[in-house]
Amino acid sequence: MRNNHKSSIINHQSLVIGWLYPELMSIYGDRGNIIVLQKRCEWRNIKVEVLMLNVGFEKNQLLKCDLLFMGGAQDKQQEAVSIDLHKKRNILKKLIESNIPGLFICGAYQFLGQYYEESNGNIINGLKIFDIFTKNGGESIKRLIGNISLTCSTLGIRLLGFENHGGRTYLLQNAKPFGRVIKGYGNNGDDKTEGIIYKNCFGTYLHGPILPKNPALADFLIQKALEKKYGTKITLKKLDDGLEEKARITIAKRLSVEI
């Protein structure tokens, strides 16, 4: 049935992006990631709908989504979100296991891990989807702040961004990092790993936001979402990324790295 209509479906592609907790988990210009996904779809005539999934949302809403995004927040906001998110854990886990593409930044990245250890030793359970855990060293430990560059071998790209996090994240056995740190701190400032790749989902500390200066990652997410939805290989139309390139060069020069 799908295959018979493939060509006409492909001409009228559409995606639903699920934005988890835009009201409380939106700091560090997280909205920029959504804007970039939206525009890069629009410029290719792919229709986009963004579902705003705020605290208390009906969990079946998640089943409508082709792509997931969730940003970071301050501690207090995260507590409020945590209760709601745990109620939706199983459905979220199922979606991720079935290869839905997703991007989880900073606080969201930590949430999806096994646990979060507070500075007083208190353990907060994570959603146990990513094989990571995070430790908060307390106020005496310095925050990891600054421009960052990393290489992601899975996508074959160099990423540039800005990180600002107090927590140190560690990968457990079998977890695959998002990238290798070239300049900057990454997950914990020690082991040169940054973020995680799990199925088609990315967890990362890069904000800035991440997607405007890394359009290849935005396109990867869009492509995977379309391929999963339409069950066929998709090649995205090329866009003019001249300005993106110039913005990348600015940061690469600062860090004395190649772009």
Partner 1 sequence: MINILLIFIGKFISSISRTFNLGNGSTWPGHIALSINKNFITDLLKTSKTNTILIIGTNGKTTTTKLLQTILEHTGKRVLINSSGANLLNGIASSLIIHALLNARIKKDFAIFEVDENVFPAAALFIKPDFVIALNLFRDQLDRYGEIDTISKKWKDSIKNLKNTNLILNSDDPQIAYLGKDVENVNYFGMESKSLENITLEHSSDSLLCPNCGKKLSFSAYYFSHLGKWKCDNCGFKRPSPDITHTPFYPIPGTHAMYDVLASVLLAKKLKISNKVIEKSLRSFKPAFGRQEIIVSNGRQIQFFLSKNPTSFNESLKTITSLNPKNLLILLNDRIPDGTDVSWIWDIDFEKLLEKNTKLYVSGDRVYDLALRLKYAGISRENYKTFENISDAINSGLTSTGANDTLYILPTYSAMLEARKILTGKKIL
Instruction: Report, in Å, the least distance between residue 178 CB and partner 1.
Output: 18
Hey, how many other C-beta atoms are within 10 angstroms of the C-beta on 176? 13
80 vs 231: CA distance, rounded Å: 37
Q: Is 172 in the site for partner 1 (CB under 8 A)?
A: no
Asked if 189 and 103 count as a contact pair (C-beta separation under 8 A), the reply is no
Q: Is 74 in the site for partner 1 (CB under 8 A)?
A: yes
Q: Is 52 in the site for partner 1 (CB under 8 A)?
A: no
Q: Is 146 in the site for partner 1 (CB under 8 A)?
A: yes
The yes-or-no answer on residue 5 being catalytic is no
Reply yes or no: is the peptide bond before residue 101 cis, omega within 30 of 0. no
Nearer to partner 1, 175 or 236 (CB): 236
Q: Is 30 in the site for partner 1 (CB under 8 A)?
A: yes
Instruction: Report, in Å, the least distance between residue 29 CB and partner 1.
Output: 3
Instruction: Report, in Å, the least distance between residue 168 CB and partner 1.
Output: 17
Tokens standing for residue 6: 């493939």
Please identify, among the stretches 28-36, 121-129, 170-178, 228-236, the one whose residues bind partner 1 according to the rule CB under 8 A: 28-36
Single-letter amino acid code for the residue at 6 = K
Q: Where are the alpha helices (DSSP H) in the chain?
A: 6-11, 31-42, 75-87, 89-97, 107-111, 210-213, 215-230, 242-255
Asked if 248 and 213 count as a contact pair (C-beta separation under 8 A), the reply is yes
Distance spanning both ends of the chain, measured CA to CA: 44
Sorted by sequence, the CB contacts under 8 Å of residue 41 that are 6+ apart come out as 15, 47, 48, 222
Q: Is 134 in the site for partner 1 (CB under 8 A)?
A: no
Q: Is 71 in the site for partner 1 (CB under 8 A)?
A: no
Q: Is 55 in the site for partner 1 (CB under 8 A)?
A: yes
Single-letter amino acid code for the residue at 164 = N
Single-letter amino acid code for the residue at 237 = K
Q: Is 28 in the site for partner 1 (CB under 8 A)?
A: yes
Single-letter amino acid code for the residue at 235 = T
- Applying CB under 8 A, which of residues 12, 76, 233, 238 lies at the interface with partner 1? 76
Tokens standing for residue 48: 């986009």
The yes-or-no answer on residue 41 being catalytic is no
Instruction: Report, in Å, the least distance between residue 127 CB and partner 1.
Output: 21
In the block, which residue shows the tokens 């082709």? 66
Please identify, among the stretches 4-12, 61-69, 141-149, 172-180, the one whose residues bind partner 1 according to the rule CB under 8 A: 141-149
Active-site residue, from 106, 152, 165, 201? 106
Question: Which residues contact partner 1 by CB under 8 A?
Answer: 23-24, 27-32, 35-36, 39, 55, 74-77, 79-80, 143, 145-147, 162, 164, 207-209, 212-213, 243-244, 246-247, 249-250
Q: Which active-site residues does the annotation give?
A: 106, 207
